[in-house]
Amino acid sequence: MMTDNIDKNKEVYLPIIRCGNREFRDIQGIVFDKDGTLEDSRAFWYDRAIARIQAIESRIPGLESLLTKTFGIGANSLNPAGLMAVGSRRDNHIAAAGCIASTGRDWLTAMAIAKAAFQAADEKVPPRLNPLYPQCLEVIRYLHAAGLQLAILSSDTTARVEQFVKENHLLNYIKIVRGCDRGLSKPDPLLLQETCQALGTAVDKTLMVGDTRADWEMAKQAKSAAAIAIIWQPENHQDLQLADVVIRELTAISVIRGEFSVH
């Protein structure tokens, strides 16, 4: 009985997190997006998108303009709110198949052509180590040392997220990694809810940090503690009102102090 009483009155450390000009109390964990949040992969995904377009165009001439618009490709850049920047591989595959099907081909044939083209693009533009954004590693180490549970939830495949964590020496700090290759895509709130469950944190005590509307909508729908928008580049984002806080660098996230609560 004495042990039960001790456990019930255990002091629990409750981090208070400052993001920009906002403070969030009783935070247990933080879930980060990968591309555009931790990793500067814009050049890679632009090259991969061009390779996909070229692979499809070589099979079905005349679709280059439609595919360029569909993938969200601008002048030597990606639309930060476009399909390549936000969607999963499955989302892109289905969209590409839709463009192919618009030529009159049946759906299964269109899906097969898109799959073969994506595989060809994978070979032409293989995965590569993209740079981390400034002070990313230092901030993650700092937040981990403060006792926060950390996860990465990406629209990329789980295998590529795992490789990213390994290559950037984050294995000791990131507890959970998840991609969007299991049938769900952002902004489905179930993705964040399942990630928090695996992380061992309550959704309403977990911050979501991401660079796209899909991240912020997912956080809102899942009822997380807050949707934090990280905007590294000066692009004009029209959906920032969906985020609770907008920050320009990861160092804007800090543990300012802690409180103890008797549970």
Does 137 reside within a domain? yes
Query: Both 155 and 182 in a single domain?
Result: yes
List, for residues 226-257, the tens digit of each pLDDT value: 999 999 876 666 788 899 999 999 999 999 86
Residues 139 and 218 in one domain: yes
Question: Are 34 and 49 found together in one domain?
Answer: no
CA–CA dist 247, 253 (Å, integer): 8
162 pLDDT tier (thresholds 50, 70, 90): very high
Task: Kindly tell me if the per-residue pLDDT of 259 is higher than 60.
Answer: no
Same domain, 146 and 223: yes
* Dist CA 175 CA 150 (whole Å): 6
Could you tell me the CATH number of the domain that includes residue 234? Answer: 3.40.50.1000
**108, containing H or E segment:** helix 107-124
pLDDT at 92: 96
**Claim to verify: residue 116 and residue 184 sit in the same structural domain:** no
Q: Confirm whether 11 is domain-assigned.
A: no
The yes-or-no verdict on residue 39 having pLDDT over 80 is: yes
pLDDT of residue 235: 65
**How many domains, the chain?**
2
Confidence of residue 258 (pLDDT cuts 50, 70, 90): low
Average pLDDT value for residue range 167-175: 96
pLDDT at 15: 82
In a domain, 82, yes or no: yes
Q: Does residue 261 have a pLDDT over 60?
A: no
Is 153 found in the same domain as 143?
yes
Q: Is the pLDDT confidence value at 189 over 50? A: yes
| Average confidence (pLDDT) over 121-146 | 94
In a domain, 180, yes or no: yes
Report the pLDDT value the prediction gives residue 1, as an integer from 0 to 100: 29
Share of the chain above pLDDT 90, in %: 78
Interval 138-153 mean pLDDT: 96
The answer to whether residues 20 and 78 touch, using CB atoms and an 8 Å cutoff, is no
Q: Provide the mean pLDDT of the chain.
A: 90
Greater pLDDT, 32 or 263: 32
Instruction: Give DSSP secondary structure letters for 33-63.
Output: -SBTTTB--HHHHHHHHHHHHHHHHHHSTT-
Q: Output the pLDDT for position 67.
A: 97
**Domain annotation covers residue 242:** yes
Residue that finishes a domain, picked among 98, 124, 150: 124
Region 119-130 average pLDDT: 94
Instruction: Give dist(CA 3, CA 26) in Å, integer.
Output: 25
Domain boundary among 108, 124, 140: 124
Average pLDDT (4-20) is 63
- Whole-angstrom distance, CA of residue 117 vs CA of residue 99: 13
> How does DSSP classify residue 229?
E
Last residue of a domain, one of 124, 152, 186: 124
- Say yes or no: 99 and 58 in one domain: yes
Question: Are 237 and 85 a contacting pair, CB within 8 Å?
Answer: no
pLDDT score for 69? 96
Say if residue 28 is in the same domain as residue 154: yes
> Are residues 109 and 174 both part of a single domain?
no
Percent of the chain predicted with pLDDT > 70: 90
Q: Which domain holds residue 197?
A: 16-40+130-256
